[in-house]
């Protein structure tokens, strides 16, 4: 066996660090489990059926019940933590010990350690010490990273106030991985499991307890036009609300799918953007009300300039920023970490000759009700209306209205691109 000259001082230094850092309560048990998981073929999901300390700490970090964590979820979480060790020699040695990247030919721990020793010119005992340091770092991170402790924030009057802590971006990544793995196991998605999150849309801010009221009214422009009036209310955590303005179905679909806006208004083709946009801003009202009932507070709706629009629309590369507009409401910081109640009220004019109007959900939404009112549509007696909901299993199929106002009670979850359409045709040709 070769003895490299750096062995004696490295081993002594690393050994001291490991022994001094294992004084935190619970860390010894967790380290023992992690050290055991690197043996044999390395980290595999089936080994995680019997872990106790690791299951407990991951349950605390994610807020999930211990009994609800599957071995694959624990596996995904632990792989993420091992990757967080970075590209230092300790991090690489630790991942090598767990056979990450060697899943198809893991051999055994001794073989992997000797191979790493040969490639990096280190004694095998030094390599083991690197592994122990990495394992200790993972254990310390898991035990000390407390997601439940709220930070102290400054309230509007300058006094400290506790607010729910936002989850760090890396833990959102872990959560997504665990959810993907769990849904993959539950629905036998196989290799298609990573695509499952697309069903919920790209926007990560959900819309809770949403109510939508939709009226088709006479327009000041005459009988060839109607005014579309919509009133939304929902609860959410967010820092901004954005409304895209386009003139084609193609641009509307791309902008909504991009996840960069919360709503899209599709104007008739040939509309003068600047004229229509100023009318939209004047006729749009957005309010916020705090979780404790304070407010409501009216928030300003502003048009984004071309440079900002280009940056925002980068994920939607098929769109030309010059061909569309974006309105934005900046949410005050005092509402960011609470489930505030938002209300959004707007009106815009469309041509009667289009014969349809529609609304789509921008993302994951718990929908209470959609109310549609066509009682004041221009020359109402001339038209026959149909409702075409595409709300998944909540309310499938088409409905023919028997009155001028009807409410569709949903009371369930809908996803990105679920929605409802209103179609009309002349009563004389409806058969």
Domains detected in the chain: 7-151+164-182 (no CATH), 207-429 (2.60.40)
Per DSSP, 45 falls in state G
Q: Integer distance in angstroms from the first to the last C-alpha of the chain?
A: 93
Rg, Å, the chain Cα set: 29
pLDDT for res 254: 87
> Which ranges constitute the DSSP H helices of 68-168?
71-83, 89-97, 109-120, 124-144
> What would the two tokens of residue 35 be?
């050290």
Query: Which residue is listed with tokens 């073929």?
Result: 41
Cβ–Cβ under 8 Å, residues 404 and 369:
no
Distance of CA 218 to the CA centre of its chain: 39
DSSP 171-212: HHHHHHHHHHHHHHHHHT-GGGGGGGGGGG-S----EEEEEE
Q: Residue 151: its pLDDT value, please?
A: 34
What's the pLDDT at 397? 53
> How far, in Å, CA of 25 to CA of 363, rounded?
42
- Residue 268, token pair as written in the block: 């008739």
Helices (H), 266-314: 273-282, 306-312
Q: Quick one: tokens of 113?
A: 């350690």
Reported as type and span, the H/E element at residue 169 is helix 169-187
Report helix angle 109-120 to 89-97, nearest 10: 150
Lowest mean pLDDT segment, chosen from 101-110, 112-121, 164-173, 299-308: 164-173
Cα distances from 258 to residues 2, 11, 242, 315, 358, in angstroms, run: 57, 52, 12, 6, 19
pLDDT at 38 over 80: yes
State the CB neighbour count (10 A cutoff) for residue 26.
13
* pLDDT tens figures, 258-267: 888 998 888 8
The model's confidence at residue 9, banded by pLDDT at 50, 70 and 90, is very low
**pLDDT value of residue 64:** 67
Residues 71-85 have pLDDT tens digits of 877 888 888 889 888
β-pairing verdict for 225-236 and 405-414 = unpaired
Residue 2: per-residue pLDDT: 33
Cα separation, 409 vs 401, in Å, equals: 15
| Residue 222, SS3 per DSSP | coil
Torsional sign, CA 375, 376, 382, 385: negative
User: Which residues, at least 6 apart from 203, have a Cβ–Cβ distance to it below 8 Å?
Assistant: 259, 262, 362, 363, 364, 416
Question: What's the rounded Cα separation, in Å, for the pair 370 and 411?
Answer: 10
Those residues with Cβ within 8 angstroms of residue 403's Cβ, 6 or more apart along the chain or in another chain = none
Render pLDDT for 120-160 as a digit per residue (tens, 0 to 9).
999 999 999 999 999 998 988 888 744 333 333 333 333 33
3-state DSSP helix/strand/coil % of the chain, to nearest 5: 40, 25, 35
Of 3-7, 90-94, 296-300, give the lowest mean pLDDT range: 3-7
Model confidence pLDDT, tens digit, residues 21-30:
434 446 788 9
Indicate the range of 1-15, 197-211, 271-285 predicted with least confidence.
1-15
Contact present, 286 and 342 (Cβ < 8 Å) = yes
Among 13-17, 65-69, 338-342, 376-380, the minimum mean pLDDT is found in 13-17
Residue 243 confidence (pLDDT): 92
């Amino acid at each position: 066996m070769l003895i490299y000259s750096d062995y004696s001082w490295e081993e002594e230094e690393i050994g001291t660090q490991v022994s001094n850092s294992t004084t935190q309560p619970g860390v010894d048990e967790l380290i023992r489990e992690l050290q055991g998981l690197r043996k044999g073929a390395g980290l595999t999901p089936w080994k995680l059926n019997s872990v106790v300390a690791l299951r407990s700490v991951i349950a605390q970090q994610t807020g999930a019940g211990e009994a609800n964590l599957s071995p694959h979820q624990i596996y995904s979480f632990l792989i993420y933590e091992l990757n967080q060790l970075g590209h230092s020699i300790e991090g690489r040695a630790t991942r090598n010990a767990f056979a990450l990247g060697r899943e198809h030919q893991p051999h055994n721990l001794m073989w992997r350690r000797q191979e790493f020793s040969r490639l990096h010119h280190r004694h095998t005992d030094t390599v083991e010490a690197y592994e122990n340091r990495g394992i200790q770092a993972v254990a310390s991170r898991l035990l000390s990273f407390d997601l439940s402790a709220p930070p102290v924030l400054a309230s509007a009057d300058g006094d400290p106030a506790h607010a729910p802590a936002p989850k760090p971006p890396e833990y959102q990544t872990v959560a997504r991985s665990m959810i993907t793995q769990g849904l993959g196991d539950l629905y036998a998605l196989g290799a298609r499991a990573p695509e499952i999150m697309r069903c919920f849309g790209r926007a990560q801010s959900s819309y809770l307890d949403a109510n939508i009221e939709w009226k088709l009214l006479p327009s000041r422009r005459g009988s060839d036009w109607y005014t579309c009036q919509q009133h939304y209310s929902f609860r959410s955590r967010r820092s901004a609300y954005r409304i895209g303005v386009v003139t084609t179905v193609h641009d509307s679909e791309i902008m909504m799918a991009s996840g960069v806006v919360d709503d899209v208004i599709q104007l008739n083709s040939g509309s003068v953007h600047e004229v229509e946009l100023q009318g939209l801003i004047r006729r749009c009202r957005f309010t916020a009300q705090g979780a404790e009932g304070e407010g409501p507070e009216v928030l300003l709706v502003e048009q984004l300039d071309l440079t900002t629009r280009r940056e925002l629309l980068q994920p939607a590369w098929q769109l030309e920023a010059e061909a569309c507009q974006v309105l934005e409401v900046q949410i005050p910081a005092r509402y960011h970490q609470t489930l505030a109640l938002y209300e959004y009220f707007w009106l815009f004019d469309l041509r009667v000759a289009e014969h349809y109007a529609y609304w789509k959900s921008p993302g994951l939404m718990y929908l209470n009700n959609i109310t549609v009112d066509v009682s004041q549509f221009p020359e109402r007696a001339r038209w026959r209306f149909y409702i075409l909901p595409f709300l998944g299993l909540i309310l499938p199929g088409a409905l023919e209205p028997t009155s001028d106002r009807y409410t569709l009670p949903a009371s369930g979850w809908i996803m990105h691109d679920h929605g409802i359409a209103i179609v009309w045709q002349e009563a004389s040709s409806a058969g």
